[in-house]
Chain A
Amino acid sequence: MKKLLTAVMGSMVMAAAPMAMSAEPTKELKMAYDADPVTLDIHEQLSGGMLQLSHMAFDPLLRWTKDLGFEPRLAESWERVDDTTMRFRLREGVVFHSGNELTAEDVRFTFERLKQSQDFKAIFKPFSGINVIDDYTFELVTSEPYPLLLNTATYIFPLDSEFYSGKTDDGADKSAISKHGSSFASGNISGTGPYSVTRRQQGVRVEFERFDDYWDTGSPGNVGKIVLTPIKENNTRVSALLSGGVDFIAPVPPTDLERIKRDENTQLVTMSGTRIILFHLNQDRVEAFKNPKVREAFAYAINQEGIAAKIMKGFATPASQMSPAGYQGYNESLSLRFDVARAQQLMKEAGYEDGFTITMMAPNNRYVNDDKIAQAVAAMLARINIKVDLKTLPKAQYWPEFDDRAADMMMIGWHADTEDSANFFEFLTFCPDADSGSGQYNAGNYCNPEIDALVNRANVETDVEKRTAMLREVEQRLYDDVAFIPLHWQDLAWASKNNVKIEPILNVMNFPYLGDLVVE
């Protein structure tokens, strides 16, 4: 019976990944990222690194495909019961690394722990509860109709409830999430994923081994062992690949793209990313920024294509809005503005022909070439007689300044955790409100309650077409209003030896599905 089930499951996955029959996972993969997982507790921090770990040691209910669709993983199927309820059917016969079997109780445990997690609770706020129907059926309930229910469900990586329950020898609760200091979960791990963690020295290396009883027997993945070494220095990471020390690296710095392309033993994969880099114009600090003409002039003065080509070496997609292509809010009719003559004209009309002086701040180690971008923007603004007093800071010092809104123009990069346009608006353009926390990163103090209301309506609209139209309208209105100055979406890049077939497992969310990786 089990064999039959395996065969059925196998054929299902085969449909998605043609000609992939799993070989014996015997290959070893050495890879280098710029950082290693901060902790083994995947609910402790919401970050790219933690999601990468989640996709190795755990499986989500469903996951994103390359073209931003959904692919069933631990949930076999789902159906909408009513406006606020979605019923999921769980895959049977899935076991955790500990040997425990996955049931809907584990999902309940995970869901409740997510609601406790300081980093995840905001994402799961629209959810009011979970109903466990039987061992393999459960329902997720939201307080209002929620169009992003499935997006959010990609964050549910069921934990082994038996493994994470009870007390440690010291009497500490095993399920506790600890932001600082160690907890049971930060040092022990049991998921359903393709790899279990066998050895870990924080900041030095993590070793993974293929899980023998991994449920997805149709996965083409043939890597039996992974050694992850964090190499922070860009140059060293690239050297490690070129010298053959590692098989797979990410990220690849823009300055080394050519070097990797030139090398005949390595291959490069790049993708237009979803992280928008932009500047806010602080209307509270600068009276002139309240004038839409001045904001428009700033937008016309900045050459996004120039920045993408010269500073980012083509490693960025120039942006006229926040939503990248593929997101519901992406509005292809919004074009890049750059036109210096027009910018000068607008400044004249606004009565600021002679310009003025502003302060600008940007981080210098957070985004790709962030400090150079800021310098370029400052230079471009000089052409409309704006004198910029620029200060760049390491990220650890930058964010406190950002929270204080310490400069007239501040840079920020944003990636929507929900892979949805509304997330950009909620954090970056909503009227700032300390009580509700909306507009938390709106360093422009731009405020348009009408637009906020429109986004809020879109957030309870489950009809995709209607919702898409609403979000596009939001982008249009923000564009017309020049609520911010968008620069570009940072591209993503990975590189590997030629025999490591990374292309099929990469995606724009930047969590490689290493379980399916084929090494020849």
Chain B
Amino acid sequence: MLAFLVQRISQALLVMFVISVIAFAIQDGLGDPLQQMVGMSVSQDEREAIREDMGLNDSLVVQYFRFAANAAQGDLGTSYFYGKPTLDVILEHLPATLELVIGASLIILVFSVPIGVYAAIRPQAWLSKFFMGISTVGISIPVFLTAIVLIQLFSIGVAVNPFPQDAGWGRWLNGALSTEGGLPSYGRGDELTPLFGTWNSGFFSHDGILHLILPSVSLASIMLPLFIRLIRAEMMEVLQSDYIRYARAKGLGAGRVNFLHALKNTMLPVITVGGVQIGIMVAYTILTETVFQWPGVGLMFLEAITRSDIPLIVAYLMVVGLIFVITNTLVDLLYGLVNPTVKLTGKKA
């Protein structure tokens, strides 16, 4: 266990080192941060002075060593735009993103397992086919399109009347096809509950939950179909295996066979993929956060790029690298719990 953790920590450090080098190497291609910091009419001399003052005139190697020396002491630099240490900026924005990911994960969890299992047990049922059809569509629609459609339907509202409004049935059909709107379409709302540190949560107020609905659904829309398909496929495979057939032959109840023996083994690969996907989801939030003006790290990162806020870009990439390593580590630990035959250090038993 200890060896495993040591190995992972050194991996994390290596990942962060590599990311920082790459991020530093490409910074020239990201544009000139000064353009965002001074007005158009500021003279070249003034610009040069600011550049010198900020240390931008030093060679990349010198800049990198200065950065690395500070980073070794936990200081990842100061954001040009926010004027604050980059880690503080990221920590301020991280809770919003994590809540979005939690919201989406809850939706995925609640819907994917029952639907996936149902589709595996009754692959021929029309409802299964319907779900599979929907999930194919869901996987192929880009998340920002989903988001825009959701905003139009549930935030602005759509009023259609293709049917005669004067007939009772026409009114009813028009009403059924129109939507009211009214759900918040941007931001996290006004009623956030402070939890600890920089974490203000939207999960504890009506307003906060309302604000979470559309972004979470959009974010989930891309992952949910994937999970339904994954669970279905894994479950079908498990259902073919010898021990299930044996259990059935032994006369165990269908519920026990399906949900205790089969589902448990189905979840193994799902946990692995799920963990990795949650890591990816943190990155996927960039699109969702942009459309919903969700003040999380994704939006922050995107804006940092448009502003060439290089210290913030570097720090963000390093933090995301760290998150990936951590989620992978947690997944491996969890895997070990679910399946005790797996050895953590990865050595062949």
Contacts and interface: CB of A to CB of B under 8 A. Distances in A.
Contacts of B82: 202-203
A397 B29 contact: yes
Given A119-B39, A179-B37, A441-B40, A243 B293 contact: no
Nearest to A399: B35
A261 interface: no
A179 B50 contact: yes
A236 B299 CA distance: 13
Contacts, number: 144
Contacts of B187: 204-205, 229
A445 to B, nearest CB: 16
B303 A232 contact: yes
Contact-size category for A: 35 or more
Interface in B151-171: 151-152, 155-157
Interface stretch (B177-185, B243-251, B336-344): B177-185
Interface stretch (B15-23, B41-49, B274-282, B327-335): B41-49
Given A204-B295, A243-B151, A119 B44 contact: no
Contacts of B157: 243
B292 interface: yes
A179 B38 contact: yes
B290 interface: yes
Contact of B43 (A178, A399, A440): A440
Given A186-B83, A229-B293, A232-B303, A240 B38 contact: no
B41 A123 contact: yes
Contacts of A239: 148, 151-152, 155-156, 185-186
B41 A45 contact: no
B201 interface: no
B306 interface: yes
A38 B184 CA distance: 26
Contacts of B33: 396
Nearest to A417: B41
Nearest to B39: A46
B27 to A, nearest CB: 11
B84 interface: yes
B216 interface: no
B232 interface: no
Contacts of A32: 186
Contacts of B80: 180
| Residue from B41, B50, B80 with most neighbouring chain A CB atoms (10 Å) | B41
B63 to A, nearest CB: 14
B35 A118 contact: no
Contacts of B35: 395-396, 399-400
B78 interface: yes
B230 interface: no
B229 interface: no
Contact-size category for B: 35 or more
B293 A182 contact: no
Contacts of B305: 396
B39 A45 contact: yes
A93 interface: no
Contacts of B29: 397
Given A46-B39, A178-B83, A240-B185, A396 B291 contact: no
B54 to A, nearest CB: 6
Contacts of B183: 243
A440 B156 CA distance: 46
B30 A397 contact: yes
A478 B40 CA distance: 22
A394 B305 CA distance: 10
Interface string B281-325: 000000000111101000110010111100000000000000000
Nearest to B302: A232
A229 B156 CA distance: 18
B182 A180 contact: no
B138 interface: no
Given A180-B80, A203-B300, A243-B181, A396 B293 contact: no
Nearest to A397: B31
B237 interface: no
A468 B38 CA distance: 31
Given A231-B293, A236-B185, A400-B35, A437 B83 contact: no
Contact of B38 (A119, A244, A434): A119
B347 to A, nearest CB: 47
11 contacts: A180-B37, A180-B80, A202-B81, A231-B186, A239-B185, A242-B156, A243-B157, A244-B182, A245-B155, A396-B305, A417-B39
CB-based closest 5 A-B pairs: A396-B31, A46-B39, A182-B83, A397-B31, A243-B155
